[in-house]
Amino acid sequence: MNDYVFSQLSTLGSSIVLIFGILLLWRRSVSAYISSFRWQSIVLTCVLALIAYLGHDPELYLVAGFMFILKALVLPHYLNQMRIRLGVTREIDPYVNNASSLILAGALVLLAYVITRPLMQISSLPTRNGIPLAMGLIFVGLFVILSRKKAVTQIVGFLVLENGVVLLAALATYGIPLIVEIGVFLDVLMGFLVMQVLVYRIQDTFESIDVNQLNQLKH
Amino acid sequence: MTFFILLLPPVIASILALLVYPYRAFVGWVNAALGLVSLAAALSFAYQAVASGTLTASTIQNAPTFGVVIDSLGLVDVLRADSLSALLMVCITGVGAMTLFLSPGLWHDQHYTQAQLRQYQIFFNLFLASMLLAVSANNVGLMWVAVEATTIFSAFIIPLKLSKTSIEASWKYILICSVGIALAFTGTVLSYFDFVTLSGRAENALNWTVLLQTAPQLHPEVIRIAFIFLLIGYGTKAGIAPMHTWLPDAHSESPAPLSAAMSGVLLAVALYAILRWKIVVDAALGSSYTNNLLLGLGTLSIIIASFSMVLSKNYKRLLAYSSIEHTGLTCIGLALGPLGIFAALLHMLNHSIAKSMLFLLTGRILHHYNTTEISKISGLLKAMPLTAGLFATGILAIIGLPPFGIFISEFLLLKAGFSNGYAWLMGFILALLAVAFVVLLRVLNKMLYGNPPADISAEEPDRTQGALLFLSVTGLVVLGITLPAPLATLLNQCVVIIAH
C-alpha cells in the first residue's frame, strides 16, 4: 500500500515538473519563463523531499535543500535581475511556433518512453514510473535551447534540462553520491554566472540579445 | 602525496594571481615555475607506472590511489593514477608549463591591460587544475564535474579582448558544451542506475575501478543507451562531428595560449573521458559496439574537417579544423584493436606537442600582423624568420611528414586499419588526409613567401620567447626517430588497460 502511494505521488510530482517544462513552449514573455522555472524547481524540491522521506534516504533532504536555495531562490532572482537590466520582455518569433512546439514536445515525451523502456523493465523501485517523464523533460529542455532565440530563454532551457537530470537521478537511483551532487550544483552555479556575464557583454556589444545576431564567425 | 604536488600548484597559482592586485610580471613567472612543479609530479606518476612493469589483465586495478573515508561522502579512492592517467597528466602539465612560460604578461609585450592579465592568470590556472582533476579522478562523477569546470573556466578567458567575435565564440562554446556535458551526466546517471539496480546503493559505486569489476553483469540494453549519451556528451567537448560546431569558433577566438591548451590537451581530456567509459562498456558488451560508433563518428569528423579546411580563410580556424581531423583519427585508432590503440595514444601525444606549438605561434603572428586572415599574410619568412621557421616545421609535422612523430603514429594507425580488414576505409581516410595535406601546404606557401605588407616591421619581437618552442620541435623529432623505451612501456600498459 505504502509503495503504491509512493509510486502515485512520485509520478504525479514528476508529471507536474514536466508540465512546467512544457509550459515554456507556449509562454512568450520572459518573466513567465522565469516563473515557470521557479515553480518547476519548487515542485522538484518537493519530489526530492518526498523520495527522501518515503525512500528513507536522508541525504536527499540535503540535495532538496540545495535545490531549493539555488534553483528556486538564487537563480530566479538573478534571472529576474537580468530581465530587468536587459529590458527584454518577450520571446518574439522563436524558430518554431507554439503549436508545432507543443506537438514536438509530445513526440519527445513519447520518444522518452521508448528510450527508457529497458530501464523500466529492470528497475524495481516504486518511483520508476516517473523515469520516462524525467527523460522527457531532458529532451524538452534541449528543444527549448534549440528553438528559442533570446539568450535569456536559452539559459532557462539549460536550467530546465539540468532539472531533468536531477529528477532522473532521484527517481532512478534515489540520488547519486553526495560529493558528486555538490559538484554538480557548484558547476551549475558557476556556469550560470559565466552565462550571465556573457549575456551582459552580448547586450553591450551587439545592443540586442537575439542570438541569431551571433553570426559573424564563418570560415 | 604526489596527487597534492600535481593538483595544488595550479590552484595556488590562481590564488596568487587573485591576491596580487594589480597584476605584476612576477606572478606570471612564479605561476610558470609552479607549472613545472606539476610537471614533475606527473612525470613521477609516469615513472611509477613504468617501474611497475608489464601489466596483465589481473593487475590493471593496481595503481596509486588517494582517498579519505568520510562517512556518506563517498571519497574512497577518489583519485587514481594508472598508466593512462599518467600519460594524460604528462601531456597536460607539459603543454601547461609551455603555455604558462609563453603567456602574455611575462615578457615585454603590451597587448593586454593589467586587469586582463590578472583575469587570464586566475582562470587559466584553474582551467589547468580542472583538466588535471579530470584525468586523476577515479570517481566518474567527479571526472564529469571536472570536465564541466574546464568549460566554465576557459569560457571566462576566451573573450579576454572584448570583441563581437570573441563574445559570440564564448557564448556558443559555453552553451553547446554545457548542454553536451549535461547529456554526458545523464549517461553517467544511467550507468549508476544500472549499478544500483544490480548491487544496491554503494558510496563508491561511481568509482571507475568498482564499475569495471561489476561491468560484466550490467544490463546490456541500459549500458547501450548510457554510452550513446556519454559519447554525445563528451564527444561534444572532444570536437567529434557533428557536435563540433563550437570548436572552430572557440579555438580561433581565444588568446593564443588558451587555444594551444584547448587544442593541444582539452580535446585529449574529453577523449580520455570517452575512453574510460569505453573500457567499462566494452567489459559489459564486448568491444564491437563502441568500436563501430567510434569508427563512424571518427570518419565523419575527418570528412567534415578536411572539407571545412578547404573553405577556411582564417589560419587559426584552419588549425582548429585540423584538430577536429586529428580527434577523428584518434577515435578511429581507438577502435582498431591493440595496435590501433597504441597508435591512437601516441598520436594524441604527438598532436598535443605539435598543435600547442602551432597555436602559440599563431599568437605571435597575430600580434605582429594584426590579422587572422590568410590572404593578408605574406612574407613571414622575411618579417619573422624564427616564427616562420617554427611555423613551417609545425605544419610539416602536423601533415604527417617524417621525421616528425605524427608520421609514425599515422603510419601505425593506418597499418592497424589495414590489418583489421578496414582497407577501404583506410584508403578513404588517406585520401582525406591528402586533402588536408594539400590545403595546409598551400596556406603555408602563401604565408611564408613574398614580401610582407609595407606597414609590417621587419624586426621580430621577443626572440627568446620563440626559442622556447624549439623544445616542442625536439620532442616531435625525437618521437619521429625513435620510441623511447619508457614511453613504449607506458603506452603498452595503456593498451592493456583499454583492451585487456
- Domains of chain A, by residue range, sit at 2-210
Q: In which residue are the cell numbers 615513472 written?
A: B47
Nearest CA in chain A to B149: A187
Radius of gyration of chain A (CA): 18
Residue B453 pLDDT > 70, yes or no? yes
* Residue B252 forms contact with A (CB below 8 Å): yes
Sort out which chain B residues have CB atoms less than 8 A from A162's CB and list them.
182
pLDDT in the model for residue A99? 85
Q: What is the pLDDT of residue B68?
A: 66
d(CA B56, CA B37): 31
pLDDT tens-digit readout, B255-273: 999 999 999 999 999 999 9
**Whether the predicted pLDDT of A35 surpasses 60:** yes
In the Cβ-directed half-sphere of B318, how many Cα atoms lie within 13 Å? 25
Does the CB of A111 have a partner CB in chain B at under 8 Å? no
- CA A139, CA A104: separation in Å to the nearest integer? 10
Q: In the prediction, which pLDDT does B416 show?
A: 94
Query: What's the gap in Å between the CA of B278 and the closest CA on chain A?
Result: 20
Mean pLDDT of chain A: 87
Q: Do B314 and A219 touch (CB under 8 A)?
A: yes
B80, β-bridge pairs? B65
pLDDT tops 90 at residue B371: no
Residue B426 has a pLDDT of 94
Mean pLDDT value of segment A163-187: 87
Give the contacts of B233 (CB within 8 A, at least 6 positions apart). B180, B181, B182, B183, B184, B185, B186, B187
- Give the 3-state secondary structure of residue B108: coil
Interface test with A, best of B116, B156, B186 (most A CBs within 10 A): B186
CB B145, CB B182: distance < 8 Å: no
Q: Which residue of A has its CA nearest to B249?
A: A217
Supply the range of the domain harboring residue B83. Answer: 2-498
The residue-averaged pLDDT of A182-187 equals: 87
Q: What's the pLDDT at B191?
A: 92
All residues at 6 or more sequence positions from B170 whose CB lies less than 8 Å from its CB, including other chains: A198, B155, B158, B159, B250, B253
Residue percentage of chain A with pLDDT more than 70: 95
**B336 to B287, B288, B298, B454: CA distances (angstroms):** 10, 10, 12, 52
d(CA B149, CA B153): 6
- Residue A174 pLDDT level (bands cut at 50, 70, 90): confident
Cis omega before residue A94 (within 30°)?
no
Identify the weakest region by mean pLDDT among A30-39, B109-118, B220-229, B484-493.
B109-118
A chain contacts of residue B164, beta-carbon cutoff 8 Å: 205-206, 216
Nearest to B206 among A118, A177, A201 (CB): A177
- Which chain A residue has its CA at the smallest distance from B228's CA? A115
> How many domains is chain B partitioned into structurally?
1
Amino acid letter, B476: L
d(CA B258, CA A113): 42
C-alpha triplet B125, B126, B127: angle, nearest 5°: 85
* Helix, coil or strand: residue B500: coil
Under the banding of pLDDT at 50, 70 and 90, the label for residue B70 is low
Q: How many angstroms separate the CA of residue B361 from the nearest CA in chain A? A: 20
Residues B275 and B335 sit within 8 Å (Cβ to Cβ): no
Q: Quick check: A173 contacting B, CB < 8 Å? A: yes
pLDDT of A125: 84
Q: Does B68 touch chain A (CB under 8 A)?
A: no
Mean pLDDT of chain B: 90
pLDDT score of B303: 95
Asked whether the beta carbons of residue B174 and residue A161 sit closer than 8 angstroms, the reply is no
A195 interfaces chain B, CB cutoff of 8 Å: yes
Q: How far apart are CA B336 and CA B389, in angstroms?
A: 36
A73-127 pLDDT, tens digit each: 999 999 999 888 887 767 666 778 888 888 999 999 999 999 999 888 888 888 8
pLDDT digits (tens, 9 = 90+) for B104-157: 888 776 778 888 899 999 999 999 999 999 999 999 999 999 999 999 999 989
pLDDT at B71 over 60: no
B270 and B329 in contact (C-beta within 8 Å)?
Answer: no
Mutating which of B142, B154, B197 best tests the A interface, going by the most A Cβ atoms within 10 A?
B197
Taking residues B390-416, report their average pLDDT.
93
Cross-chain residue pair A122–B167, CB shorter than 8 Å: no
B162: distance to nearest CA of chain A, Å? 8
Question: How high is the ipTM of this complex?
Answer: 0.93
Query: A140 touching B, CB under 8 A?
Result: no
Sequence-distant (≥ 6) Cβ neighbours of residue B500 within 8 angstroms: B56, B57, B60
For residue B73, the model assigns a pLDDT of 60
